[in-house]
Chains A and B, each alone.
Chain A
Amino acid sequence: MKIKRIVITSAICAGIAAIAYFAFVFPFYEPETSNFEVSIDRLMSFDYLTALIPLLIIIGMTTAGIVLVVLLRRILAKTDKKDSRFAHVRTGRQKGAAPKQKPVWFMIMRWIIMIAFTFIAIWGGLIFGMGISSLSVPVLSCPWNTEEMTSSSCYYLSHLNELFELPWHSIVIFFASTIGFILLLGRAICGFLCPVGLMQDIMDKIRRKTKTEGIKMNDKMYKAVTPIKWCLVLILIGLCFAGGNFCNFCPAVAVSPVLAGISTSLYVSGFLMVLVLMAGFFKRRSFCMVCPIGAILGFFHKISLFRIKKDTQSCTECGACYEACPMGIKMIYTEREKVDVTSANCIMCGECIRCCPEDKALSMTCAGIKLYSSSRKKIMSGYEPDKNGGLPNDNDK
């Protein structure tokens, strides 16, 4: 059993490495004229629409893929002898709404920051100028887009050979800004800034709105995914020395430059983006589980300023945090001694705190300042009685 798992994992890793290495061979949908010029005028012109074609292909393929999977699952569920009883409720379109807790400011802020940063990463340079463009933020947004307000560390992390050919002050700025951001924010970068994270969160929102059943991962599956993450880290750092180009393989390259108006090819990355979006639809933030940049950020989780704290006394081990956690961090509910439960995998999305039913059992702090803590009242806010103290009527909502 163990040998089988090792063989399968190494086969998958070898496959990914092979795709990464040969990615530059397959351009797919090559535009007739490559245009790397970005300007506000271009965003207004008809050319912008033609530049968007790769993105539209990605969106179309993702939608088709998701619809196919959902339909296939419906057929399978209906023909399955054991599970067919509830096939119609599990896979059909459903009326009614599940009780929902009222929006919390933390989540609203997180969404606003995420959208704002994505905007900055794509169009920021055009509007606010390129004054701070030498600063590198370790997110998965594309540095091919030359008009980013801040540059993304992923380019030089994946092209270390080029990094050391730069003038020394550029190297210093690169390392200082990258490490500075990591120390300051840690993996909160993943939860608050990353554009690929935002795309996956949007996919998850769509799934929730349509009440589609997702994929429920258990700890065995989370464990099985970990080797792929390390394999991707190796590819990210090592591919430039082996003669490949990580950018042809990176899923972000097919989205952010296209939105900025650059005509590029789809590459293999476009198809990977389809996979990332589809996986993100069925399992929240599924790419974050294997993201190599995230894994590198995770190395510094012990010293970053953002922390998840737990009041081990109040915890009832109800496991709601674990159920909610997109990264499958089990320790957060089993831990009964340590106060600090920040894990290398934690992306600071705050979902565990939002779902925790015990007052102040979980909280997020930044440099010791409490940003957000769990509350019974908030989690029960969807059940709040009406004015007369009776059962809330869902027709009002």
Chain B
Amino acid sequence: MTMINKAESLKQRQDRRFINKETQTAAKYLRRMKELPGAPEGMEPFYRTLERIYVNMDHIEKAPGQKTVGTYCVMTPPELIYAAGAVPVKLCSGNYTAFSVGDSVAPRDACPLVKAVAGFKQTGLMPIYEDCSMMVIPITCDCKKKIAGMLSEQCDVMTMHIPASREDDDIDEYVRQLYQLMERLENVTGNRITYETLAEGFRKVGYAQYELSEFIRLKKQMPYLIRGSHAMAILNSSSYMPADVWGKALHNVNVSLKKSISEKKAVTSKKLPRILLTGSPIVFPNVKIPLLIEEMGGIVAGDETCMGERGLWDPAVITDDSFDGMIRALANRSLRPCPCPTFADNSQRIYRIKQLIKENQIQGVIYHVLRGCLVYDFEYRRIENELGQMGIPVIRLESDYNEEDIEQLRIRIEAFIELIKLRQVPEKATAVRKSF
């Protein structure tokens, strides 16, 4: 009897420690984001969402009785989930505390994102994970495949096969998988997917994408109207908000950004080195890299990461008004424009990065690799070569979900920003020398 009590109290103690640590870390990073100057008006709903999910460890906001469906990748079309009357929640995690738990569950070389998911599964304390009636996991790498197996022990899991190329046959096959996904969604939610509900799903996501297009157009403006870290907070919170609510909140941000154009208000009057962030996903609260860049005096002018600008950027273009045509549009949008390194030939990512460099007048690229994220690591070499030919400096930053490497990252980012500053304006360099 006492043994059981002891065991229970041990578990309770562990849980309490987990919750304490988790909320503290999340609160700390949220505070650092808020402390960063130059945020536009209308950021509160996004901060509130991140606080609600990670600091208060609360459920997502939704209508009573509505089911939530967890997704793991931009390749799962949220339109279908809305069509089935459920709310999608992106479950890719950036949590340090869950990572430390998952470290003992998953093998050493697994990527931290998957370890964090395994950690949440192990503790069973995170409401957004526990609420899910179903999880949809596109198999984009080996770690995702194994985590799908682990998660299926306690939740209904649907895996989606991601082909290695994007040929016509692959799209046809993906369409078939989407029909299977719809069947599973109908079974879980008890609602039928009809033409009308699907069109409604398209409208919700399309509205969010409309506002996002506007937001990214404003984000490209010079001088800067918004910092990359704040944009990251907005884009990250899209995972935990219904698309229409998120779109409405983003609309308010867009209005305030337009106001700052007319008032000629910018983030800062200084000329900050413009940096492009690319590579492995950056998920709250693992926002140490964009925060460090901007605290060190740079600005994340563009990002090419799947929890960032890339995630919602490509709209599903309906070229055929039939039901099947709409599903086809989703399959096409999920695979073809996606510059995910899971595809064998991913040269389109280089073009995408080049375009971002041109549009945002990028001066340096930071290539973020999560330890163990092989597919992103593979592509570094090629991108380094391509950018070298363009004369754009690039560094590879490998990081893990903990704060041990923060000083090392700080030094490297600082040096990189100094390097760009030296290249940027020769007059400024001489000015510095004079003061010595």
Residues of A with Cβ closer than 8 Å to B? Answer: 83, 85-86, 89-90, 94-100, 207-209, 211-214, 216, 218-220, 312-320, 323-324, 333, 336, 351, 355, 357, 376-377, 379-380, 382-385, 389-392, 394
**B314 close to A391 (CB less than 8 A):** no
Of B17-25, B316-324, B380-388, B424-432, which stretch is located at the interface? B316-324
Q: Which of A97, A214, A319 has the most CB of B within 10 A?
A: A319
Q: Which 9 A-B pairs have the closest CB atoms?
A: A96-B196, A318-B337, A383-B206, A94-B195, A218-B168, A319-B336, A320-B317, A389-B251, A324-B319
Q: Is the pair A357, B354 in contact by a Cβ cutoff of 8 Å? A: no
Does B332 count as interface, using CB distance less than 8 angstroms? yes
Number of interface residues of B (CB under 8 A): 59
Q: B325 at the A/B interface (Cβ < 8 Å)? A: yes
- With contacts A218-B168, A318-B333, A383-B206 known, what are 7 further pairs, Cβ within 8 A? A97-B199, A98-B199, A219-B167, A316-B339, A323-B319, A383-B209, A385-B247
A83 and B179 form a contact (CB under 8 A): yes
Please provide the chain B residues from 239 to 266 with a CB less than 8 Å away from any CB of chain A in the complex.
244, 247-248, 251-252, 255
B315: contacting residue among A314, A319, A357, CB under 8 A: A357
B182 nearest CB neighbor, chain A only: A86
Beyond A86-B323, A89-B323, A94-B323, whether A320 also contacts B332 by CB under 8 A is yes
A380-B209, A389-B252, A391-B244 are contacts. A213–B323 as well, Cβ < 8 Å?
yes
Query: A207 — which chain B residues lie within 8 A by C-beta?
Result: 322
Query: For B6, what are the chain A residues with a Cβ–Cβ distance below 8 Å?
Result: none
| Selected contact of A312 from candidates B209, B317, B328, B351, CB within 8 Å | B351
Query: Given A318-B333, A324-B319, A391-B248, are A380 and B213 also a contact pair (CB < 8 Å)?
Result: yes
Query: Given the complex, which residues of B lie within 8 Å of A83, measured CB to CB?
Result: 179
The reply to whether A383 and B203 contact each other, CB–CB distance below 8 Å, is yes
Instruction: Show 7 residue pairs from A and B whose CB-CB distance is below 8 angstroms, ordered by the A residue.
Output: A99-B199, A315-B351, A316-B337, A318-B333, A379-B315, A389-B248, A390-B248
Asked whether B195 lies within 8 Å of A376 as measured between CB atoms, the reply is no
Contact of A96 among B199, B211, B319, B333 (CB under 8 A): B199
Is B355 close to A, CB under 8 A?
A: yes
Q: How far is the CA of A85 from the CA of B248 in the complex (A)?
A: 35
Assembled-state Cα–Cα distance A220/B168 (Å): 9
* Residue B194 interfacial (CB < 8 Å): yes
Q: Is the beta-carbon distance between B315 and A391 smaller than 8 angstroms?
A: no
Interface SS, A side = loop
The 8 A CB mask of B335-348 against A (1 = contact, 0 = none) is 01101000000011
Contact A385 B210 (CB under 8 A): yes
Nearest Cβ on chain A to B320's Cβ, whole angstroms: 6
A164 to chain B, nearest CB (A): 45
Q: Which B residues are CB-close (under 8 A) to A98?
A: 195, 199, 202, 318, 321, 326
Q: How far is the CA of A205 from the CA of B351 in the complex (A)?
A: 36
A315→B337 CA distance, assembly (Å)? 9
**Cβ A96 vs Cβ B336 within 8 A:** no
Residues of A within 8 A of B200 (CB): 96, 394
Contacts of A390 in B (CB 8 A): 244, 248, 251
- Give the docked Cα–Cα distance between A214 and B322 (Å): 8
Q: Assess whether B196 is in contact with A94, with CB atoms less than 8 Å apart.
A: yes
User: Which A residues lie within 8 Å of B322 (CB)?
Assistant: 90, 207-208, 211-214
Cα–Cα distance between A175 and B119 once the two chains are bound (Å): 77
B358 contacts A by Cβ under 8 Å: yes
B108, chain A: closest CB distance, angstroms: 36
- B165-212 residues with Cβ-Cβ distance < 8 A to A are 166-169, 171-172, 179, 182-183, 186, 193-196, 199-200, 202-204, 206-207, 209-211
Contact A318 B203 (CB under 8 A): no
CB-defined contacts of A316 to chain B, threshold 8 Å: 313-314, 337, 339, 348, 352
- Supposing A391-B244, A391-B247 touch, asked if A318 and B323 sit within 8 A by C-beta, the answer is no
Known A318-B333, A380-B213, A380-B315; judge A392-B203 contact (CB<8 A).
yes
Q: A89 CA to B320 CA in the complex, in Å?
A: 15
Q: Nearest Cβ distance between residue A69 and chain B, in whole angstroms? A: 14
Question: B318 and A99: CB pair below 8 A?
Answer: yes
Identify the closest chain B residue to A391 (Cβ). B244
> Which A-chain residue is minimally distant from B211 (CB atoms)?
A385
Which residue of chain A has the shortest Cβ distance to B249 in the bound complex? A389
CA distance A389 to B202 in the complex (A): 17
Q: Which residues of B contact A351 (CB under 8 A)?
A: 319
Q: Are B318 and A319 in contact (CB under 8 A)?
A: no
Complex alpha-carbon distance, A211 and B207, angstroms = 23
B81 within 8 A of A: no
Q: Which residue of B lies closest to A381 (CB)?
A: B210
Alpha-carbon distance between A219 and B326 when the two chains are bound, in angstroms: 20
Complexed CA–CA distance, A95 and B248 (Å): 27
The residue in A218, A323, A394 that gathers the most chain B C-beta atoms within 10 A of its C-beta is: A323
Which residues from B are CB-within-8-Å of A333? 336
B55 interface residue (CB < 8 Å to A): no
The interface residues of chain B lying within 8 Å CB-to-CB of A208 are 320-322
Q: A96-B194, A382-B206, A385-B207 are in contact. Are A90 and B319 (CB under 8 A)?
A: no
| Contact between A318 and B196, CB atoms less than 8 A apart | no
Q: How far is the CB of A377 from chain B (nearest CB, A)?
A: 8
**Whole-angstrom distance between the Cβ of A324 and the nearest chain B Cβ:** 4
A385 to B211, CA, bound (A): 8
Is B134 close to A, CB under 8 A? no
Contact B168 A89 (CB under 8 A): no
Task: With both chains docked as a complex, state the minimum distance between the C-beta of A334 and any C-beta of chain B, in angstroms.
Answer: 10
Q: Once the chains bind, are A357 and B317 in contact (CB under 8 Å)?
A: yes
B179 touches which of A86, A99, A324, A336 (Cβ 8 Å): A86
- Of chain A, the residue at the smallest CB distance from B329 is A323
Chain B 24-82 interface residues, beta-carbon cutoff 8 Å to A: none
Considering residues A89, A377, A380, A392, which has the most beta carbons from chain B within 10 angstroms of its beta carbon? A89
Q: Nearest residue in B to A97 (C-beta to C-beta)?
A: B199
Which residues on the B side are within 8 Å of A380 (C-beta)? 206, 209-210, 213, 315
Most A-side CB within 10 Å, residue of B211, B317, B324, B325? B317
Q: Is the CB of A318 within 8 A of B355?
A: no
> Are A323 and B317 neighbours in the complex by a CB distance under 8 Å?
yes
For A320, the chain B residues whose CB sits under 8 A away are 317, 319, 332
CB distance from B63 to the nearest CB of A (A): 15
Residue from the set B315, B354, B358 with the largest chain A CB neighbour count within 10 Å: B315
Q: How far is the CB of B289 from chain A (nearest CB, A)?
A: 25
Question: Which one, A99, A312, A314, A319, contacts B206 given CB within 8 A?
Answer: A99
